[in-house]
Structure 1
Amino acid sequence: MKIAVVGTGYVGLVTGTCFAETGNEVICVDIDADKVARMRNGEVPIYEPDLDVLFERNQRQGRLQFTTNLQEAVDHAEIIFLALPTPPGEDGSADLKYILGVAKELGGMISHYTVVVDKSTVPVGTGERVHAALAEKLDESLFDVVSNPEFLREGVAVDDFLKPDRVVIGTNSDRAQEIMHRLYEPFVRSGNPIIFMDVRSAEMTKYAANSYLATRISFMNEIANLCEIAGADVDAVRRGMGSDSRIGKRFLFPGVGYGGSCFPKDVQALAHTAGQHDYDFRILTSVMAVNDRQRLRIADKLEAYFGDDLKGKTIALWGLAFKPNTDDIREAPALYTIDRLLGAGAQVRAFDPEAMDNVKAIYGDKITFCEDQYEALEGADALAIVTEWSVFRTPNFDRMKSSLNHPVIFDGRNLYDLRRMVEAGFYYDSIGRQVVGE
């Protein structure tokens, strides 16, 4: 099938590359000429495991192309995916100017029947607004608007796309439904469902799913905080809860809050949608408030340990990305930790396997970026672990202890066994578990 993907951000690039991998002819469009030139030269602009292999193969074999010319892509395509940014406004609403702007342009370009797909995460009712924007200049017989929300997890997005748990498609058109079913059929050969519904329900499904997952995270963070006060162990509680088939094991790990491009924005947008309908979605308000507090949990612990006086202290920071296996730092808890530490007069020595260039663009020389995790420890008064990269899971504890000024670790991801930390001689403060080595 002939596909155009408008926007080559995280969702657009993964979508275009994976569709090309199943034999489709894909043209990706972006207004950034420099970015398009780099992609044409084989450079993948984001870090995502396995994406580079598919990108190179499909570009080399001619199924994946890049252009700044929207008309070229429109003339080629029978399906156009809109994978454009929907940044949150000050009130939490999703900004649709990019999507609606492109939709108006498409209305003056489409000359044959085309399915226009909202791949971006958009509020309920966006499909109707995109339809109206297209219909300003285009006969309604020449297009259908479909909602096809993405459920990609950064770090495993390629696998998620090629082997989805489910595909959600919102449309009221039999013609569009048949085309979308044909497009996605190769991805669900193992029997996972393609779920068809109306457009508004598909739009709501994405927000509901992400907001529920964010709720689980915030709930477990509250349980963890209570465990610390009550003397319980959140790891034991998590295992006891997760063994209940009604609850399940996933998204029950406590930490320093959620971040990234989806959860913070989508929870805010769903709360804003509720407000537009005069509905007080109190759970979501609490979820956001809990997360705002939790992403400063490590900074709180550091200040408590050093007596609220971090001036002149040096803190080693392991992890900058909002989660492992990505270079994405959007709403990353590490950034909030850095801001708090710098504001308190501390110095920060940081390491992350992939995200340092992105953080360097924000902080410049305000913090020290290190070649590896052990260099970050040199001369530091404490270590703070914020992202659970695999390389941090089984470190050389003797080397850590000799590099740090004091054997002090604040672990926001509960990477280490408490007994092992006692044996290694560390002061170790994690999330929802007893402090050891006091």
Structure 2
Amino acid sequence: MNLDAEAFLRLVTTTRDPWFIKFYAPWCGHCQAMAPAWSELGREMKGSLNIGEVNCEVEKRLCRDVNLRGYPTILFFQGGERVEYDGLRGLGDLVAYARKAVNSGVNEVDLVEFEEMEKAGMEVAFIYFYDQATTSEDFAALERITLPLIGHAPLLKTSSDLMAKRFRVTTWPRLIVVRDGKPSYYLALSPKDMRDTNKVLDWMKSVWLPIVPELSAANSHEIMHGKTVVLGILSRNRPNDFGTAKAELKKAAMEFMDQRQMEEKNEKQELRDRKQLRIEEAEDRDDERALRAAKNMRINVEKKKEVGFAWVDGVFWERWVRSTYGVNVNEVGERIIINDEDTKRYWDITLDGAPIRPSRSAILDTLKAVIADPPKIQSKSSTNRLYSVFYRLRAGFGRHPVLSTFGGIVFIVVAAVYGKGLMRRRGAGGFFKLDGKEGLLGGNTGTKAD
């Protein structure tokens, strides 16, 4: 349905009806490319969800008021709130999101219903535990965070004693996330903290991916940047190998998470013991100054670089995987790559020099060697030598602004000289492209503006 400003105000802004709306410009190539899929989406969701579009060449003021960043922009509206759709734009992706949007409320579940959802393949779910003392204000705050969760994970609520028993919930209200059956708890000191929707949503965004998500153009930045990532390069064309490899990757992820939690717990206990020892020594010496200093010691565990786990379809992303990591899954089978996007480095062999196979023991042993300081296995570069040097310098100087600025200036000068020489040797060539499938880590896939 084409919407002008008057219809937008009457049907969208002043109602609680859900709307999925595309804002476009007729001259925009990306808008033209997705037009057939958007029309088919309208037919597919007829009677279930309102599908609309706004021509920003005609409705310039409306589009300006919406604060668009580019074309096309797709927004979901409901009850005066809105959220931007940032997924892929194929018909299947749009339909999947739209169907989840229709059922985006906070649904009540008991233990039997929840277990049925798990059996059906649900990997991530947020659960809000409440009792008779939970107020309407609490539920209203809960409803305000449903829109940003569309397409990520369902938000459920329960007052079931059996659900509380399974997840060891003893205080209400309580919010948890369950990923592959493993619960994590939102830390709130009081019911008031549960109503801080911005903080709650920030926490949700940090845990709304499965423990081992599939890497795609839509989520690549969220998964890969700022972490060391164990990446399984798998093939759906071999169902048995695919299922086994995914299972081994998930076992490794769960075990590593448990190991790191235990390490952090032991480090905290060691610091507490050290603090208590200093307090006792100061008391024995009757040294008030040392006693105050000991009591003011903070128990801060040094934060380690985050480690994530993911898998990628090595057939669909064959050219990107081959050009970045030198792996052809059709020829060599499933492989594991350990990637550090911050420094553009990766590791693809074990301590014995063999390719990393998708087995729990091989993954964990190699990961331990990679995250050691310094790493016990030689890394490879996922970019050219010049940029590899830059990323390593950036990682090393990141905590020193002055050194970082100086290093950046030096890099620009060197890059300019290197670039001139490269152009003389190669001529005025362009850059290497992978037919649109290269967009996993910063390519052209999913661009918003023409």
| TM-score after normalising by structure 1 | 0.26
Relative contact order higher in (CA < 8 Å, ≥ 6 apart): 2
Which of the pair has more CA radius of gyration? 2
Normalised to the residue count of structure 2, the TM-score between the two structures is 0.26
